[in-house]
Amino acid sequence: MATIPLPKQRASELKGRDFLDLADFTTEDLKKLLALSVELKEKHNKGIPYRPLEGKTLGMIFEKASTRTRVSFEVAMNQLGGQAMFLSGRDTQIGRGEPIPDTARVLSRYLDGIMIRTFGHEIVSEFARYATVPVINGLTDLHHPCQVLADLLTLWEKKGKLQGLHVTYVGDGNNMANSWLVAAPKLGINLRIATPAGYECDPQVVEQAQRLAAYHGTELLLTYDPIEAVKGTDMIYTDVWASMGQEEEQRLREEHFAAYQVNKELAAHAKPDHLFMHCLPAHRGEEVTADVIDGPNSVVFDEAENRLHVQKAIIVATMV
């Protein structure tokens, strides 16, 4: 495993902060979280007990279903000595019209932290504004910061560095692409994003990323040409063509995204030792072919495992 140099200040300085958008964190903040992730993963792999969350409870509000998010957060809390409480949309009064500020204030009286996986980013932002405990964004339509932190940890482990690498995202300009846009420049990563016309990333996030890239001296390429984006890259990333809530667009998206499938022909333009990542679940035969996702360059299951370790780091850093 690659060694991540520990910053002078430890991640404990993030205590009490919300984890909503990677744009809210400095380069040093992100390095602290990655370093803490490595430390906690090493404890986990060596079987060293670490239970700083005894007596603490994380409430998990799911308005969007998930396998990895629910299981990884529940296991993380359990292994850290605390407990996690699952709350679906049917289990809270939000679904019956209770104002978000009221729910946030009440749950803050019971819980030590709240994780929300929902649709509109404004929901998690408003929740955090009124909650008095840390709020973690488990996913919104705009950002997926927990996943990208796991991706960064995986990239660091496999390549031994982040600075100067080239990362290519191919597909829909969705929450994954948006989170990569704000994280990559802060860690010295050159980012390329190839989307079909009409499926570009959020323009405000793009503008923010352009400023960050200029400040940090990294490259940012936004293109409609997947071959241009993949050429000589260190890592190829993709996601499903139709995310949750876009199922009715599936057929149309299949037509528009056909040229953006990550297959052996496209991957051949990358470096021979490139990595392939996908946030999962994957649709083999759509956004990626089986021979790529199951091939020797794929690290998708290491990436998925790292969701557990980075979420432990986020929980420890914000709640301990």
Dihedral angle of Cα 294, 283, 240, 73, to the nearest 10 degrees = -70
Q: Where are the beta strands (DSSP E) in the chain?
A: 57-62, 83-88, 113-117, 135-139, 166-170, 190-194, 220-223, 235-238, 275-278
239 has binding-site annotation: yes
297 has binding-site annotation: no
294 has binding-site annotation: no
Q: Catalytic: which of 18, 279, 309, 311?
A: 279
278 has binding-site annotation: no
66 has binding-site annotation: yes
Query: Which pair of tokens denotes residue 181?
Result: 């846009």
Preceding peptide of 203 cis, ω within 30°: no
Q: Catalytic: which of 29, 141, 143, 144?
A: 144
How far apart are alpha carbons 193 and 177 in whole angstroms?
Answer: 8
Query: Which pair of tokens denotes residue 145?
Result: 């910061």
DSSP state of 24: G
Q: Catalytic: which of 192, 239, 278, 311?
A: 239
243 has binding-site annotation: yes
Q: Which amino acid is at 295?
A: G
Query: Nearest to residue 136, comparing CAs of 152, 111, 104, 114?
Result: 114
210 has binding-site annotation: no
163 has binding-site annotation: no
Q: For residue 144, indicate whether it is catalytic.
A: yes
Q: How many angstroms separate the Cα of 130 from the Cα of each of 16, 20, 106?
A: 13, 14, 10
Q: Catalytic: which of 143, 253, 274, 307?
A: 307
146 has binding-site annotation: yes
Map tokens 């890259």 to a residue: 233
**Phi, psi (deg, nearest 5) at residue 192:** -125, 135
Inter-residue contact 111 to 61 (CB < 8 Å):
no
80 has binding-site annotation: no
How far apart are alpha carbons 136 and 115 in whole angstroms?
Answer: 5
Query: Nearest to residue 213, comparing CAs of 229, 234, 190, 196?
Result: 190
69 has binding-site annotation: yes
Q: Catalytic: which of 18, 21, 112, 117?
A: 117
Q: For residue 279, indicate whether it is catalytic.
A: yes
Inter-residue contact 118 to 3 (CB < 8 Å):
no
Q: Catalytic: which of 18, 29, 112, 147?
A: 147
12 has binding-site annotation: no
144 has binding-site annotation: yes
238 has binding-site annotation: no
Q: For residue 201, indicate whether it is catalytic.
A: no
279 has binding-site annotation: yes
User: Which parts are annotated binding residues for L-ornithine?
Assistant: 175, 239, 243-244
Kindly list the catalytic residues.
Answer: 117, 144, 147, 239, 279, 307
User: Which parts are annotated binding residues for carbamoyl phosphate?
Assistant: 66-69, 93, 117, 144-147, 279-280, 307
User: Which parts are annotated binding residues?
Assistant: 66-69, 93, 117, 144-147, 175, 239, 243-244, 279-280, 307
